[in-house]
A = this chain, B = another copy of it.
Amino acid sequence: SSDSTTIRATLFPGDGIGPEIAESVKEIFKAADVPIEWEEHYVGDQIDPRTQSFLTWESLESVRRNGVGLKGPMATPIGKGHRSLNLTLRKELNLYANVRPCSSLPGYKTRYDDVNLITIRENTEGEYSGLEHQVVRGVVESLKIITRQASLRVAEYAFHYAKTHGRERVSAIHKANIMQKTDGLFLKCCREVAEKYPEIKYEEVIIDNCCMMLVKNPALFDVLVMPNLYGDIISDLCAGLVGGLGLTPSCNIGEGGIALAEAVHGSAPDIAGKNLANPTALLLSGVSMLHHLNLHDKADQIQNAILNTIAEGKYRTADLGGSSSTTDFTKAICSHL
């Protein structure tokens, strides 16, 4: 069924509402004639010793082979002795940058209508080292690790992104007034990279001040780059400005150009299987994937159909205040293609 122009991409439908929203993506991509053939992989029911998690080695190999993938929400099974599925993907595929475009959706009203920024998060180290230690009972410590290699890599990604996406400014977010050595190294790397991009403005903003400015006037920001935990916090904050994780795409970039796009919202087990889920975040993540594949026309076509459907307001899922089913919302998007 695949011809020479078909691109193979890995699809992890994920848990809970994952399969339904993945179905919606497949349908819309098909209706838009996107030349993608999906290779579906599921979360296993056994721990794969090669990944120490419920994700199988074969499914990771699929992303490595294809170079691109799309991932639905995955609920990490409760219990000990295995790694979180999200962290397994980041570590095993060396997904070093998490990129989240965040823009006000025309037609979906929040307190903000002027958000148009990109958060770029270092995704492999920092506070996520996993190194923790009990010194004595009642005294515990955890290690934050910042390396020159990972900081340069994500900074380079951010400036390159800014340059190739017509963005004007990169803001490095930090707390180097307190963590002078770790966040200091991160800033030093950003400054080094900034010198190579004289056409892109560069500034440094302390994280607490950044959060205050974001809620007062998000239009002040363009591209933000930051260590892992700050990225975790700020990307969710920014998603909140435009409506939440159900509406915002995410894409992870790995070494060798791998891209794994993902919906970062939860698996919503309470509404799973009920045809109520909103596929927007997974769809927009699919759109990021298409951009990554240089299928910009298809990407724009699908993105416009999604935004127009939401703006029109006739078909909206319950989380957006409507009463449409997932399948009706999907059909409405197809009709806007």
Contact = CB atoms under 8 A, between A and B. Distances in A.
A239 interface: yes
Contacts of A111: 111-112, 215
A225 B184 CA distance: 28
A121 B233 CA distance: 17
A243 B229 CA distance: 26
Contact of A147 (B138, B211, B243): B138
A245 interface: yes
Interface string A111-142: 11000000000000001100011100111111
A208 B181 contact: no
B143 A143 contact: yes
Contacts of A23: none
Interface string A200-236: 0000000111011111100000000000010011111
B132 A138 contact: no
A245 B215 CA distance: 13
Interface stretch (A12-20, A155-163, A172-180): A172-180
A214 B240 contact: yes
A144 interface: yes
A245 B212 contact: yes
Nearest to A229: B175
Interface string A84-96: 1000000000000
Contacts of A209: 236
Contacts of A185: 138, 140
A149 interface: yes
A241 interface: yes
A138 B125 CA distance: 13
From A148, A180, A209, A216, name the one whose CB has the most chain B CB atoms within 10 angstroms: A216
A182 B132 contact: yes
Given A137-B148, A140-B181, 7 more contacts: A127-B179, A132-B179, A142-B181, A178-B229, A211-B236, A212-B245, A237-B237
30 contacts: A111-B111, A111-B112, A111-B215, A127-B175, A127-B178, A127-B179, A128-B178, A132-B182, A134-B181, A138-B148, A138-B185, A139-B146, A140-B146, A140-B185, A141-B144, A141-B146, A142-B143, A142-B179, A142-B181, A143-B143, A143-B144, A144-B144, A175-B229, A178-B229, A207-B233, A208-B233, A211-B240, A212-B236, A212-B240, A215-B241
Interface of A: 84, 110-112, 127-128, 132-134, 137-149, 175, 177-182, 184-185, 207-209, 211-216, 229, 232-237, 239-241, 243-245
